[in-house]
Structure 1
Amino acid sequence: MAVAALAAVFAFILTKGSPTSSESGDGLRLGTGLDAGAAAPSVPVATDDATTNKADRNPQSSKVAPKVAPTTPPPVNTGAESPVFKRGQWIAVLDKYPTDAGMDASQLAKGAAVRLIKAGVPARAMLVNGQYPGVADSSFAPVVNTWVVYLGPGKTAEQMLNLCLAPKTQRAYANPACPTYEPAAAPGG
């Protein structure tokens, strides 16, 4: 206990000086018993950068952290608006958005594709406007004026169906109906 008290007294004397210090006009303490009055100045000392620091303490760091501009992630690629397919390439359609239904079909389809892509599912969005003979309705008429969210292309209809029904895909975009199409080939041909 006595050792702790002595250490505290010495620490006080070394950092603050004596409780009743007498200073000369130049800021030096006199009569402290240290080197005949050659103690460190007890008043703040002005530095070049207009801040004040005690001479017996570490100066402020002049390093300023570099400012990093916030970055926005690059836009997600949802594919070409009208991609080219070859015979033998298959797609699975997750959803259709008609352009004449009074909604922003482009935004809805691309938004759905982005959600799927961010979930790790290789989805795309395209505008189908009769240019794909293999994308037809139940009466074999070409689908027109419709944004489509699709998976693929793949080598077989079964491959695309399996990708569409995979748990990862269904968690990201639940849709048990996964019609498959060969866009470059007419139905039944």
Structure 2
Amino acid sequence: MAEPETMNDDNGLPLFAFQDLDYIPFGYGTTTAPYIETSAGTMRAAAALMRLGASQDIDAGLTSLEQKSGPAVVCDLGSGDGEFLIGLLDHIDSHAHGVTAARGIGIDYDAELIKKASTRSISEGINAIWIVYDFNNDEEDLASLLMNTHHVTHVFIYLVPKQLMMQTVRRILTRLCASGVVVCCYKFFPAYLTPARCDTRMELMLYDETS
């Protein structure tokens, strides 16, 4: 059987090599990117850290960008089949208490997974759009798309260290934070951003323009 084709990063190194991690992720992966499942507990902890999920928390935790933009728009960068984002939006909706709930944007390179996410979100009545996009190449300027077209206020990311260190990813995250978008990272954290707050037990770190 032929060896699968391996994609390389800017330094010529294989992308997303699982042997570079200090544990074996739960889920599965391809040579393009890993798919690693994120638990419901992590989702609820991320919602709390981002101050999403209860009207009083939302009122107390608005950033300057959210105050200008209205209800939260939450992006899952590397959303896979959408399970995390759909669960997060459902969690926010269930605690909205009459206020306008958040809407979501799921982004992934895998068109088949995006199709599954779209079908599921429609069937469950979740307000989300799903975009096929290769943020590793970032040919269409994802940061501008998220900020200027979709008015994203929060981004959740579960990327491995090799992804976080890529120039394209660094540029995207730096621009989002500089514009006031709240970025929440799980398990692996970009050294080029300054954290605003964290949940050490759940391995979550949050970044925003106030850092």
TM interval, short-chain normalised: under 0.3
For normalisation by structure 2, the TM-score amounts to 0.21
For normalisation by structure 1, the TM-score amounts to 0.23
Higher relative contact order (CA 8 A, sep 6+): 1
The structure where helix makes up a greater share of residues is 2
